[in-house]
Every structure is written in structure tokens, then in C-alpha cells.
Structure 1
Amino acid sequence: MKHVLILGAGISGLGAAHVLLRHGTHVVISDLKDQIQNNKEKEELIGLGAEFCFGEQSESLLDGMDAVVVSPVIPAENVVIQGAMKRHIPVLSEVELAYRVTKAPILAITGTNGKTTTTTLLGSMLSHSGRPFALAGNLGISLSREAELVPENGLIAAEVSSFQLEFITRFRPKAAVILNITPDHLERHHTMEAYVAAKARIFENMDETNCILLNADDPYTPMLKKQAEAHTHVCLLSTSHGVEEGACLSGDRLVLKRRGETIPLCTAGELLLKGKQNIEDCLAAAFLAHEGGVDTAVIIEALKTFAALPNRIEFVRKLDGVSYYNDSKATNTDAAIKGMEAFDKPVILIAGGHDKGTPLSDFMQTVRSHTKELILLGAAAERFEEAAREAGVSSIHRVSSMKEAVLLGQKLAKPGDVVILSPACSSFDMYKNMEERGMDFKKNVKSLM
């Protein structure tokens, strides 16, 4: 590739630019707006020969180009991508570029929920293994930029989204996991069938020297297992029953099963992470680390010491006997269900935000059985309230701000109660991102008297 157009001047696009420029490629970076916050990096790229083109995008950007590298936020309907396909110009995701430039094996994580926790925990295991490693992907870290620097004897922990998998051609991880699949990103993929198909691309280039770990407790797994078996070796993950090969619970103990050997790890009670989703994430990370050759003792130590990430059922404080938890990362209904189910008592739930338009019936059934009060805010509040009433939820409150939500949660709570922000929505109606929403929740909780 001598001439490459990069669509999107975010972390992914700029990372790809650095990599391609190091390989002597002529690079043009296109974005609708110049929102690059690091002017020094922009000037550095220009000094290395990159060209920036901001403003309206048209098919003329493709003139003279050998390939297009597309950032995850750019959909397939983009006029430039459609033009590239018509001209038979290859369109690559940054994940595909990373695979092409790295010498190290990739351990890849995808799924609707739990990706970041699993990837970060896997990164912790790799960091203590003594081997060179990189932790990157859909984490706000450029995968291609990190992957290129890892030597052949190293390992790469990569969080991979459905958006990134849309434009792969050769990407083949050494081992991978699909944690779960529930309705999400339908505004991008339009149908569940398309969303599932995007996730399934993670194993399309794998072979019998690789393996894919699928969640035996997920309803989409029978279909995915049949598809994956045509490509690679399939192992299973479960917290509800044993598996022949893969990762599961044996009583309270996490175990791996591989090549006829059972490898005991720690117990669920020894984990700092709580809840079914977190146990699944721990099993998945341990399995991938084992596939990468990490010592069992290192895996166990990481499992015992790894704490919850910010915005993921994150304990904020206890005041007057009431515990407050920030689960702002729960940007879809399934994640919010898991947030509620992490507690053995009904919670006071703060939910709502930018409405993704996903079905609410299962979510509201869990709200009815797992909450004592429902506090709604944001653009989705009206539809959520309507669905809640249809499901028989009676204690519903509407507020207009996070401060009002937190104050009302305090007013409704009694000693022993849990107040949790688990929105089941993205944050873009009121905040820049879910991190900002989580920080606002924590700020208001910490200011309670």
C-alpha cells in the first residue's frame, strides 16, 4: 500500500497514520471536523508527510489511493466507503492493519458486555508474565500503533468491537472469545442478524491451530458454534454447568479444561469482582491467558487482586447505611440487568439517557423483580416509563438532572439499601461520553450530606 486514505482523525485513525508513515506510505487523513486536541501530534504527523483534509467528504478523496483505513465510528454507508467498494479499493479497519504489521500473537475479546473488564484483566495477567505485551483496541488506545512494537515472543490483548470487525480481511487471532451477544448498536447495524454476523467475523479466518471460546449460557451460541466449527476449534464458557473443554465453575471454584487437563484456579469468593458477568469475564481472561502460555500461578494472582474498573459496578461510598454504585458503563439493557442482578436485594435504580431503541420487555421484568424504586432521566425517560408501567413497575420517578436523581435516591433509601446508576442507555443526550456521566454521578454522591 503506497497511498492510503484514513477516514477519521481520532485515536484509531491517528494511530494508523503513525504506523503507515513508518512504513513509507503516503497518508491522507480525512475528517468532517478538525477536533484533534493534541496539536503537537498533528504537527508531528504533518512533519512526517501526512496530509489532513477536513470538511465535507466526497468520492474524490479516493483518487490515487490504494486502500482506505476506516475508524470504528465510520459506518459502511459513508459515501467514501461506498465509493471505495465500487472502485474495488480495499477498505480496512485499524484492527486489520494491526494484524498485518504485528509479529506477536493476538488474544482477542469481543461481545456486547464485559469486553473492557476482560481485556484489562487479561492485560494484568500478561504484564505479570514477564513477556512483552500490549493492551489496546476498543479501549481508547490505538491497536495498530501498540501492536507494531510488540516482538514475536510477546502477546497482545485486544478489545475488538463489532464496528472494528466489519472491515477485516485477514485478521486471525491466536485465541478469541465472544463473551455474550444482546441487542446493542442497532442504530448502526440495523438488525440483530447483522450485529451477530459482525461479531462472528472474529473467527472467520481462524483455523484448527487457533481456538474460539463461546459462552454456553448465551442463546446465540448454538448458531455461532456451528459456524465456528467450520473454521476452528471451539471451547465453551459457562457459570451454570460444567464444560468438556473451556472454562467454567466447579462448585465455587473457577477452572479451565483444556486437552484433557483440569486446571483449578481460585474460588469466586476470592475475587474482588462480584456478580455473574464479572465471573464470566474472569473465566474468559484466564482462558485466553492460558492459551497465550501464561503461568497458572500468575493467572490466579491476577484474578485475586484485580479490582473493578471505573464505571463498572464501581463502589462510590456508603452514607447512613446506604451504598452507592456507579455502573455508567451499562449502556445497554443487558448490562443494566447484570448490574441489578449483582446484588442480592432490590435496588434503587437510576436509569435513562440517549435511547438506543432496543426492546425493553426483558429489562423491565428485571426492574420489576430487582428494584424497589426506579428513577428515570434523559431522552429515554418517557419510553422507559411507559414500558415500566406496562411491566407492572409501580414506583417510578422522573427527574431532569443527575443531581436531582442522586438527591432523590438518598431521600428514598433506607439503611441497607443500594442506589445504583445503571442507565441501560448511552450518554450522548446529556454528556460527552459514559465516563463523564459516571464522574457526574460520583461527584453528586460524594457531595451528599
Structure 2
Amino acid sequence: MKKITNYENKKVLVLGLAKSGVSAAKLLHELGALVTVNDFKQFDQNPEAQDLLTLGIRVVTGGHPIELLDEDFSLIVKNPGIPYTNPLVEKALSMNLPVITEVELAYQIAECPIIGITGTNGKTTTTTMIGLLLNADRKAGTARLAGNIGYPASEVAEEASTADDIVMELSSFQLMGIQTFQPQIAVITNIYEAHLDYHGSRDEYVKAKWAIQNNMKKSDCLVLNWNQKELQELSKKTKAAIIPFSTKEKVAGAYLADGKIYYKEEYIMLATELGVPGSHNIENALAAIAVAKLKNVPTDVIRQTLMIFSGVPHRTQYLGETAGRKFYNDSKATNILATEMALSGFDHSSLILLAGGLDRGNSFDELIPSLKGIKAIVLFGETKDKLYQAAVEAGIKKIKLTENVQTAVGEAYDFSEKNDTILLSPACASWDQYPNFELRGDAFIQAMHQLKDKEK
């Protein structure tokens, strides 16, 4: 990493722990900062804070006392999940105290190029694809995944060498806390309405996403989804070189035409050769191909890598077969749009859908067109009655209400025949029954394995 000295003997407050906060605190401590960590969780229930204390880092736990700001800090490094409406954060900003997120620290110490990926949907799949493509035929160094994908960016940047690339998934929350962050290549997969409870308005959400290119120059490349008019308009407001991708028209980048994928008129592969189904995954692949081409990955390597890519856990993840039934885990589909995208990749006549979850007060009328022709649907959670009405409107004949994901798998199996597909794509958040979408997906996988055991 770069041995920067601008934090030596500076008082820095790390606000909120989790993985990124722990990494930021350790890095700043190593860089000579006088670090105070403040976390809401009580000390006796906070192993991360206990660990930092043993390193000689000051910890304040059990709340976010505003009095901390009397201590003349030079900087706050904020956990992305803590909103800017937090009283301590609001007070800090009113004092003109800089508030950054850990990805800004990562950029400041990184010795290698950074490829940043953001967007409403498809970030993790696209990030994973890019990492695989850049490592597939690599002669020196490694493409290292970082950021919102689960690996603290500052920790990865600390370990990376000049021969590496950092492939960094970035949320809107993280991007609100950047100052100098400048990726060599940036990708915006798409922009839809999301996280309005955090950002307050769609305009603020879009502004946060668009911040990924704030410091980019004409020598940097910005890969944009040309299917979206909004991104086409925004492209006029950047200094970066634009590399478009599209499933609808021929563009000066990556595109789909007559079922074939091209990059600047060079044939890459058939869309049907991609290892993951769905029109959304074609878009993800186009974005990844654009990055791979910019990094000079050979075409045959791109094709071979994407043919065997089977998806990211909980994101239209192919789990294999049980008694001739294919199982797909798309627990990450926590909204209607994500489920619509997943459904676009399957033959509805042989599809059994599992859906339901937290009731956020919305109807499912938008989902009805995507449900038409589905063989059967099994519904669970707080939204099962609302989804039942949508399924009836869509003309689905076989509908079953059940308790949870585990019981839904058994019901779906009873509806199914050999060569059918059973898909978990809930169209809802998990929090009515499961702490997160990962545990919901794990429950689906476990139930599938129990079916397998019965078959033996």
C-alpha cells in the first residue's frame, strides 16, 4: 500500500463497526492516527470493539454521544449503514467536519487500479463476473474483489500490490462518502428507484450513484447501460470516456444483436451460451465484457469463462437437480423488479415460483404480467395474501399458501414433475421471517437437500 502520512497524529473518529469499520480503524491506527471508535452496540456484546481495545485503540460503545464532537476530530469515517440523519453525523456536518466512508480510505492507499461497479441491480453478479474474467488468463497479479461484495475495501487495498486490480462493488451509501476516489474504470449497471428511506428522494439516490465518476478524467472509462435514457443523459455530464452496453441496439461498446454478443463489432459469444439465465444477466455480462476488453482479456477467454459461470449465491444461483427438477436460488430478489428480471430467464410453462416476505405496503400489480403462464406458485410470509391476488389476476391455476421457505419447497415439489424448474425469487425483503436474504436462501438450499436425502 501507499505509505501516506496525512493521518499521523490526527484525531479520527470511526463511527460504526462491522467489517468495514474494524478495517478502517486498524488501518488508521497503523497510519499513525489517534483513533476513537464509536459503536452503538454495548461493549460486553461487542467482540469487534473488544479486539480493537487490545490493539490500543480507544472505543466508546453503547450509543453515539454528540459530546464526542467536542474532542476536535479532524475526520469521521462513517459506516455506510448509518444514515446522515443520525444526530451525531448531522452535527459533524454542521461543523464542516469531513465525513467519509471506508472506500475513500482504500483509494488513498491503493497502489493498483480500481474498477468500481455500482447500480441498483446486478452489482454483485457483474463484480463477480469481472473478477473471474480478469483472473482467467492473468500472467501477473490478481484481480481482488472488494467493497460491498463482502471484503472490506481498505483491507484489500492494504494487501494489494502494483500488479493487481481491485474490483470494487460500491453501494450508494458508500459513494456518498467519497472525496478523491477515482476508479480507472467505473460501471453503472442500471438505476431504478431504491433506498428512498435513506436518501430521501430519487434525485438524491441518483446523485449518490453518479458520484462514482465525480473525479474521473478523460483517460478513465465509464461503462454505462445504454438501455436507460437517464444514463444516456447523465453521460453528457462526465469527463470520462463513455463505453456503452445495450441489449436493444448496436452501440460503440458491448451489445446484443440477433442473439449474439459483440464488442465493437467483434463477435464474442451466443447469449444462450451464458452460464446464467435471464435478460438481466445478459446486461451484466455485457458490462463485464466491456471491462474485460478494456483490460485486454482475449475473446476466447471471455467466452470460456462466462460459459461456466453459474451465478453468485442467492442471485439466480443454480443449485442442481433433485429427481429431475432444477432448483434456482434467487433469494436476493427483494423487490418486484428483481423478480421480474429473474422470471424473464425461464420457461414459464415448467416453472414453479416461490415468493413472499416482508410487507412494505406496496401492491404487486406490476408483477402480474411477469407471472402469466407460470405453472404453479407457492406463497409465504406477510405478503402471501397480496401475492395470491396477483397470481389469480395472472391466471395461475395452481396456487398454494404456506408458512415459510422450508415448507414452500415441499409444496413446490408436490406441484412439480420431471424437467420442471423450482425457483425461489421472493419479490420481497426477508425480515418478516429471516434476518437477511442470505439466511432465507440458505433455508431454501437446506430444504432442497432434505428432498435429495429422501430420494436416496
Scaled by the length of structure 2, the TM-score of the pair is 0.89
Tell me how far 1:125 sits from its aligned partner: 2.3
- Alpha-carbon distance in 2 for matches of 1:332, 1:4: 38
The answer for unaligned runs of 5 or more in structure 2 is 1-6
Asked if the contact 2:43–2:62 (Cα under 8 Å) also holds between the matched residues in 1, the reply is no
Tell me how far 1:366 sits from its aligned partner: 1.2
Counterparts of 1:259-278 in structure 2, within 5 Å, are 262-278=265-281
Q: 2:116 aligns with which of 108, 113, 125?
A: 108
Is the counterpart of residue 168 in structure 1 residue 178 in structure 2?
Answer: yes
Counterparts of 1:378-389 in structure 2, within 5 Å, are 378-386=381-389
Going from structure 1 to structure 2, the CA distance change for 1:424 and 1:154 (only over 3 Å counts) comes to: same
Task: Write the letter of the residue equivalent to 1:361.
Answer: D
Asked if the contact 2:367–2:390 (Cα under 8 Å) also holds between the matched residues in 1, the reply is no
Q: Counterpart in 2 of 1:281?
A: 284
- Alpha-carbon distance in 1 for matches of 2:72, 2:424: 50
- Alpha-carbon distance in 2 for matches of 1:411, 1:140: 36
Is the counterpart of residue 179 in structure 1 residue 189 in structure 2?
Answer: yes
Q: 1:61 aligns with which of 47, 60, 68?
A: 68
Counterparts of 1:210-359 in structure 2, within 5 Å, are 210-228=220-238, 231-243=239-251, 245-257=252-264, 262-346=265-349, 347-357=351-361
Asked if the contact 1:114–1:281 (Cα under 8 Å) also holds between the matched residues in 2, the reply is yes
Is the counterpart of residue 198 in structure 1 residue 208 in structure 2?
Answer: yes
Going from structure 1 to structure 2, the CA distance change for 1:370 and 1:190 (only over 3 Å counts) comes to: farther
**Cα deviation 1:251-274 (Å, max 9, x = unaligned):** 3432222xxxx4432332333222
**Cα deviation 1:276-316 (Å, max 9, x = unaligned):** 22222122112113323444444344223322222122233
Task: Write the letter of the residue equivalent to 1:201.
Answer: A
Going from structure 1 to structure 2, the CA distance change for 1:353 and 1:190 (only over 3 Å counts) comes to: farther
RMSD (CA atoms): 2.5
SS class of match (1:350): strand
- Alpha-carbon distance in 1 for matches of 2:140, 2:280: 28
Q: Counterpart in 2 of 1:130?
A: 139
Asked if the contact 2:276–2:316 (Cα under 8 Å) also holds between the matched residues in 1, the reply is no
- Alpha-carbon distance in 2 for matches of 1:302, 1:339: 21
- Alpha-carbon distance in 2 for matches of 1:178, 1:400: 38
SS class of match (1:419): strand
Asked if the contact 1:341–1:370 (Cα under 8 Å) also holds between the matched residues in 2, the reply is no
SS class of match (1:122): helix
Of residues 298-307 and 325-334 in structure 1, the stretch that sits farther from structure 2 once superposed is 298-307
**Cα deviation 1:12-63 (Å, max 9, x = unaligned):** 1111112211211111121111589994x65553343312211121222222
Q: Counterpart in 2 of 1:16?
A: 24
Q: 1:188 aligns with which of 174, 198, 218?
A: 198
SS class of match (2:140): coil
Q: Counterpart in 1 of 2:406?
A: 403
Task: Write the letter of the residue equivalent to 1:18.
Answer: K
Going from structure 1 to structure 2, the CA distance change for 1:11 and 1:267 (only over 3 Å counts) comes to: same
- Alpha-carbon distance in 1 for matches of 2:401, 2:202: 30
Asked if the contact 1:95–1:168 (Cα under 8 Å) also holds between the matched residues in 2, the reply is yes
Scaled by the length of structure 1, the TM-score of the pair is 0.90
SS class of match (1:240): coil
Q: 1:142 aligns with which of 149, 152, 169?
A: 152
Tell me how far 1:219 sits from its aligned partner: 4.8
**Cα deviation 1:384-413 (Å, max 9, x = unaligned):** 445555666665433222222112212222
Asked if the contact 1:361–1:391 (Cα under 8 Å) also holds between the matched residues in 2, the reply is no
- Alpha-carbon distance in 2 for matches of 1:209, 1:344: 44
Q: Counterpart in 1 of 2:4?
A: none
Q: Counterpart in 1 of 2:379?
A: 376
Task: Write the letter of the residue equivalent to 1:249.
Answer: L
Q: Kindly, what percent of the aligned residue pairs are identical?
A: 37
- Alpha-carbon distance in 1 for matches of 2:412, 2:391: 18
- Alpha-carbon distance in 2 for matches of 1:17, 1:344: 49
Asked if the contact 1:184–1:358 (Cα under 8 Å) also holds between the matched residues in 2, the reply is no
Q: 1:6 aligns with which of 7, 11, 14?
A: 14
- Alpha-carbon distance in 2 for matches of 1:227, 1:352: 40
Tell me how far 1:444 sits from its aligned partner: 1.1
Q: 1:52 aligns with which of 49, 56, 59?
A: 59
Tell me how far 1:101 sits from its aligned partner: 1.6
Task: Write the letter of the residue equivalent to 2:55.
Answer: L
Task: Write the letter of the residue equivalent to 1:60.
Answer: E
Counterparts of 1:354-365 in structure 2, within 5 Å, are 354-357=358-361, 360-365=364-369
Asked if the contact 1:375–1:398 (Cα under 8 Å) also holds between the matched residues in 2, the reply is yes
Q: Counterpart in 1 of 2:167?
A: 157
Q: Counterpart in 2 of 1:430?
A: 433
Task: Write the letter of the residue equivalent to 1:253.
Answer: K
Q: Counterpart in 2 of 1:80?
A: 88
Q: Counterpart in 2 of 1:207?
A: 217
- Alpha-carbon distance in 2 for matches of 1:270, 1:177: 23
Tell me how far 1:421 sits from its aligned partner: 0.6
